[in-house]
Amino acid sequence: MFIQTESCSEPEIPICSTEMLGLEAIQVAKSGKRLDIIFHRGIALSLTQKIMKLYLEKIIKAKQGNLIASVDDFGVYIHFFSLHLDKILVIIYVDKKNSVVDKCTKMYILYKKIYDYIQKRSPITEILDMCKMTIKIK
């Protein structure tokens, strides 16, 4: 017979550090008129603007999912998920064209961790510290 003595919770997923050229977390209004950068490291703002110009409509329409694309000489992996009725969390990972697909699992784990921090309304400093410890920018 099994007796549960303590409450169960989802197991903690370890985050392995990984190297990439850049990472950005953006909160987007579903209207598409407001983009707030939560975390920005290693990606030029001009590249971010280009990526958002190309994919913002798809992100807003789908509200949840991921995209793998090539932009200029980079491989780009985009994860996005609805946060509230009016906001979407967008995580953009940039690396060499051929290596972005190899890192999808690590990027998904990082995305889930950032999403959990935001859902818990953790201070932005906690999210930034976790990202800085996890992502090594080349």
Neighbours of 27 (CB within 10 A): 16
Give just the sign of the alpha carbon dihedral 44, 100, 57, 60: negative
**Global pTM?**
0.74
Domains along the sequence of the chain with CATH: 18-137 (3.30.450.200)
pLDDT tens, the chain, 138 aa long: 434 334 334 444 445 567 888 888 888 888 888 888 888 888 888 998 999 999 999 999 988 888 988 888 888 989 888 877 788 889 898 988 777 666 777 777 777 887 788 778 887 778 778 777 777 787
Run of H or E residues at 76: strand 74-82
